[in-house]
Chains A and B, each alone.
Chain A
Amino acid sequence: MSSIISIQNLRKAYPGGFTALKGVNLEIEQGEILALLGPNGAGKTTLISTVCGITVPTAGTVTVGGFDTMTDYRATRDLIGLVPQEINLEPFETVFNSVSFSRGLFGKPRNDAYINRILEQLSLGDKKDSKIMALSGGMKRRVLIAKALSHEPRVLFLDEPTAGVDVELRKDMWDIVAGLKADGVTIILTTHYIEEAEAIADRVGVINGGEILLVQDKSDLMAQMGQKQLQIAIKDPVAEIPDALSAYALERSEDGISLTYTYDTTGERTGITTLLNDLAAAGLVMTDLQTKQSSLEDIFVGLVKETT
């Protein structure tokens, strides 16, 4: 697969001296759903704003569909739809007019049939003549999505689409995203809900302090999560792991009184029984056993902690 968005050494320093992005590199593949995870103030929104043209980068380049966002901004912005985090809508306008306005702004001729179709897809069909101020919060979010899709973009940015949204609407939102992916739209969403990334993303990126800490296939991350660790405390410290136990790839703690065995819970055999037998045969006396499972949350918290 080829990259539709390529971000290189992107830096953004605000006039006040705050550096929101510290040299971000990121390739986003065509047709994927990338979830950007990060705590508040991590730089998620600045990253999106810079790609969309709302914020001017201090250094670095961003290309969308091969076009540079600064020099070919018409071509790049034409490809992008943005759903902002805040519900920014003109309250006195009707749903249909508001969405149609967005289409015109993006240089597309009026197409009522297309707008009506989007509104139907987003369950806004019967609200199209309602004023926006009369809608519920969830409906307003759908209007924002409809506006972002009004000019038939190939890339959709969703900035925390489910922040402060109830469980039911969150599921709806996930369905909408899945539907868009099926239409071939590349989706980048930011979130601080790990479960959201787990539920819908193809790849997960972790951002904190203006830096991308990790970008990985969700399946790889899930595989890491399928692993468990068995910590074995032994009575007498060992200087090195006995040769008889080399097959188990044990990790020895610095003080030599604890050994860690990593195994796959999804495998047919965990190898725990034979390991314990072999430990006894090697003359090691065990004082305690403990198992631990790593979750995406652990990985995330660990990464974020390291950088703060």
Chain B
Amino acid sequence: MNIYAVQTIYRAEMKRFFRTIMQSLISPVISTSLYFIVFGAAIGSRIDQVEGISYGAFIVPGLIMLSVMTQATANASFGIYFPKFTGTIYELLSAPVNFFEIVLGYVGAAATKAMFIGVIILITAFFFVDLHIAHPMAMIAFLVMTCLSFALLGFIIGIWAGNFEQLQLIPLLVITPLVFLGGSFYSISMLPGIWQTIAMFNPVVYLISGFRWAFFGTADVSIGISLAAIALFTSGCLAVIGWIFRTGWRIRQ
């Protein structure tokens, strides 16, 4: 194991994050505050409660998930795409590192960044709503799993992308809609009949539901199914990455 290489990649990626610390942290704080003002205060005042939880508090897990998923994907995909774009990928390919170490460095850093942002949003939320977390350990576990799995997905997108447009394509066309329709701002039970069934095909529903369970002890689907869903998603990403590793797809000819 080339531990120095993993550290080097991880540190370089984190440095990029801290170099733009203002954008990295201020923007999620501002956007979260906006969500609270718009959804929590304006719309929330008419909804009052969902499943016995004030609407303002109800949307907190969904808001964290929304940011964490998009940030983990964006950071990891950019992290590995940028060396491809600048050509510095030659160095990764000619260095005594294996693919696992490369993934560990890039995905680890992207997941850490997403975690940071998730925690910042959680702290911001405490200023707006009365919040207490029912299962803190499960909450942390879900957060870590989500950061890691979406960073893995981002890594795959970064390897696949041939240009900056493609880099934005999947997050924009797939991830954002799935997250918005995955119950970030509402309970699936609030949907009319057929849409509840359709929503069950959205993998993000299980993640948000599980995360919400960790906060409030109530969920759209049982926590066991949520755990199985995130495990399935993570192993799916790992399988694809394993295949990329074996074939050198899009990186090593």
Residues of A bordering B, CB below 8 Å: 14-15, 52-56, 73-75, 77-78, 80, 82, 84, 86, 88-91, 97, 101-109, 147
Contact = CB atoms under 8 A, between A and B. Distances in A.
A54 B90 contact: yes
Nearest to A82: B94
Interface in B3-30: 3-5, 7-9, 11-12, 15
27 contacts: A15-B253, A53-B94, A54-B90, A54-B93, A55-B253, A56-B253, A74-B2, A77-B94, A77-B95, A80-B94, A82-B90, A82-B94, A84-B90, A86-B87, A88-B86, A88-B89, A89-B86, A90-B82, A90-B83, A90-B88, A102-B91, A103-B8, A105-B8, A105-B9, A105-B97, A106-B4, A147-B91
B92 interface: yes
A104 B4 contact: yes
Given A88-B90, A102-B91, A107-B2, A54 B252 contact: yes
A88 to B, nearest CB: 3
B77 to A, nearest CB: 17
B52 interface: no
A106 B252 contact: no
B96 interface: yes
A15 B247 CA distance: 13
Nearest to A110: B4
A18 to B, nearest CB: 11
A89 B89 CA distance: 9
Interface string B79-108: 000110011111111111100000000000
Majority-rule SS of B interface residues: helix
Contacts of A107: 2-5, 95-97
A89 B253 CA distance: 21
Q: Which 7 A-B pairs have the closest CB atoms?
A: A104-B8, A88-B87, A74-B96, A77-B96, A52-B94, A107-B2, A105-B95
Interface of B: 2-5, 7-9, 11-12, 15, 82-83, 86-97, 248, 252-253
A78 B82 CA distance: 24
A277 to B, nearest CB: 64
Contacts of B89: 88
B86 A78 contact: no
A90 B91 CA distance: 11
A56 B252 contact: yes
A74 B97 CA distance: 7
Contacts of B12: 97, 101
Given A52-B93, A88-B88, 7 more contacts: A55-B252, A73-B96, A77-B95, A88-B87, A103-B8, A105-B95, A106-B5
A103 B7 CA distance: 12
Nearest to B252: A56
Contacts of A80: 94
A97 B3 CA distance: 18
